[in-house]
Amino acid sequence: MEPVDEPARDVPPEARDAILAWYDATGRLLAFRSTADPYAVLVSELMAQQTQAARAAEAWTAWMARWPTVASLAAAPVADVLRAWRGLGYNRRALNLHRAAQAIVAEHGGVVPSTVAELERLPGVGPYTARAVAAIAFRVPVGAVDTNVRRVLGRIAAGGPEAYPGGSMQALADATVPRDRPDAWTHALMDLGARLCRPARPRCADCPAIAWCRYAAGERATPVPGSVPARRPVPAFPTTTRWLRGRILDQARVAEDGEWIPFRESIGDHGTGAVREAVVALSREGLLDARETPGGMEARLPR
């Protein structure tokens, strides 16, 4: 029996150079890419998670004008922070960013820490965000791995991210980072994944790495257990708890400071029981103050 070739475990330096040259020539001009200030980078990275880059950039500009420093955000009322987050989704990120700012002031003298380990200890900062901030703000040569990066590097090196279980993708990402340009490389991979190396119908003909990409050459990785999470059916958005939580928070946002809003009726397809459960959960997470009254649940933004 002929031996089966193992998939390549690296990205050729020539591919990396071609991607950087492509980014230098065509990279998106997003507002938050104009700075390497660690606090500004932290804000942008938390905003851009699961949010369109253009929308995040617009919100980031307004945010930085209002709270230009870690200390100013740490001192802001939680209600103001949650109101400013409107439209970005995943509202827990706003609360985590506020808590991270408070931790930076209390534990780091108001200076954003520079190591991945210290960044990961901040509220709401996971492995990806910690590495993105370290690479962009402090030029630490580490790879920030999200869905886009996993797809780009996996396709180039092995025909797909399915070849990389566990921490092997992180090892590939770290080994690929150019030591002199980790900041530009991080942005370049994000752009490549968002614009060309898309999940469906990738634009391989326009990709700067096509000459070195196994996926573009027609190869497909053999899935390895644990490499890529199984896809789950996506329910209609208005039927999800996330949609309901967003509607509840939006009602609280438009209220006057300290005003209690009654939540005693159905919202969309969600009955009163589901509404009550969502209010209680939001209160438990610190996103709302809630109380029981003779007429039912009432809630307001935290004060």
User: Any idea which residues carry the catalytic annotation?
Assistant: 45
In the sheet that holds 261-263, the strands lie side by side as 261-263, 296-300, 289-293
| Phi and psi angles of residue 123, each rounded to the nearest 5 degrees, phi first | -55, 130
CA pair distance 40, 66, nearest whole angstrom? 12
Nearest to 269, CA basis, from 249, 248, 239, 241: 239
Q: Give 27's strand partners.
A: none
* Residue environment code for 249-265, b if the CB has 16+ CB neighbours within 10 A, otherwise e: beebbeeeeeeebebee
User: Is residue 283 packed enough to be buried (19+ CB in 10 Å), middle (13-18) or exposed (0-12)?
Assistant: middle
CA 184 to chain centre: 18
DSSP reduced 3-state for 31: helix
Cα 69 to Cα 31: distance, rounded to the nearest angstrom: 17
SS3 187: helix
Distance from the Cα of residue 44 to its chain's centroid: 9
All residues at 6 or more sequence positions from 2 whose CB lies less than 8 Å from its CB, including other chains: none
Which of the 8 DSSP states describes residue 210?
G
